[in-house]
Amino acid sequence: MNQPLDIAAQEQAKIDKANLKAERFRRIKRNKLIYIMLLPGLLYFLIYKYIPMYGLIIAFQEYKPYQGIMGSEWVGFAHFERLFSEPDFWNIFANTLILFGLQLVIFFPIPIILSLMLNEVRIHMFKRTVQTLIYIPHFMSWVIVVSISYVMLTLDGGIVNELLQVFGFEPVNFLLNPDWFRPMYILQVIWREAGWGTIIFLAAMAAVDPQLYEAARMDGASRWRQMWHITLPSIRSVIIILLILKIGDVLELGFEHVYLLLNASNRDVAEIFDTYVYTTGLQQGQFSYSTAVGFFKGIVGLVMVMFANWLAKKAGEEGVY
């Protein structure tokens, strides 16, 4: 007795499904230029991030290039066991965490502070000039940045040591002294990246409703109060998202910068996972072991992102997923 109703319901479901597909196709066609713009980015991640993940299998093998991935001997977790039992592991782990902590505590707030300061500037010409000047270092490679630091800090005619001697101080070997490695590292990061980091925050501040500031001024709020109670809360979600992404790079400090500063005198405080992978993987040819180190870095980064995202949602924020 209910068979005609069931058939009608099935037919209606098919029609609804067809309409949904048609609507989806129309939406894609309507926004085709946006999807075309996304295509290069998607291809980049597919080719350089996802397809190479197949190579992670060699972390569980004794990989021999002439035997290939399929022909190399399977050793399971032997390389991970070696990593955790290495005498230098905890020193490298501590060095990486300390440099990351310096970036998180010292560097991360600086683009926010710079953005707040630039947002308060009302002379547009001056604002644009300052923005241009602080953006420029980002386009310099780490080779140039470290080379400039070397010329300024070297004992052989460096301007910093020349000034120290003029004022009656002893010259300081900044480049070989382990105590100066971390301050030099974080100052170079700030100089090169702080200005570039303001772009996202300034864009978020530009989207704040001007009526909020007008209402605050009518209530007698000072510029400082407006910044504290309107600007910062308005960009809080952006700050949280960037903080989560930053935490995901807890063991990913970048190879080039640290490697250029690394030398025999500061290796105890400067060796991190990125330089360790280069030394063991490329210089010593231990491909499986260095892949296991990279795998460990990726797992830690994933766990940290998930944990930071969970904390953000607990605090009432949206998070990254």
Domains of the chain: 77-314 (1.10.3720.10)
Instruction: Please give the Cα distance from 250 to 298 (Å, whole number).
Output: 10
Measured distance CA(268)–CA(272) in Å, rounded: 9
Which of 82, 48, 46, 47 minimizes the C-alpha distance to 62?
Answer: 82
Query: Which tokens is 157 given?
Result: 């005619």
Question: What is the C-alpha separation between 133 and 137, in angstroms, rounded?
Answer: 8
pTM of the predicted model, to two decimals?
A: 0.82
Helix, strand or coil, per DSSP, at residue 69: helix
**Kind of pairing between the strands at 73-74 and 61-62:** antiparallel
The whole-angstrom distance between residue 24's C-alpha and the CA centroid of its chain comes to 34
Question: Over its length of 321 residues, how does the chain's per-residue pLDDT go in tens digits?
Answer: 455 656 666 776 777 777 778 788 888 888 888 888 989 989 998 998 888 888 889 999 888 888 888 888 888 899 999 888 888 889 999 999 999 999 999 999 999 999 999 988 888 899 899 999 999 999 999 999 999 999 999 888 889 989 988 888 888 889 889 999 999 999 999 999 999 999 999 999 988 888 888 888 888 888 888 888 889 988 988 898 888 888 888 778 888 999 999 988 899 999 998 899 888 887 888 889 988 998 898 888 888 888 888 887 877 777 666
Is residue 299 within 8 Å of 307, Cβ to Cβ? no
User: CA 87 → CA 34, 183, 279, distances in Å?
Assistant: 51, 26, 16
- Say if CB 208 and CB 200 are below 8 A apart: no
Q: Which amino acid is at 60?
A: F
Instruction: Single out the residue of 283, 278, 269, 285 nearest to residue 88, CA to CA.
Output: 269
Query: Looking at the DSSP assignment, which residues form a beta bridge with residue 73?
Result: 62
Helix axes 89-102, 78-85, angle to 10 degrees: 80
CA distance between the termini of the chain: 48
Phi, psi of 228 (to 5 degrees): -75, -40
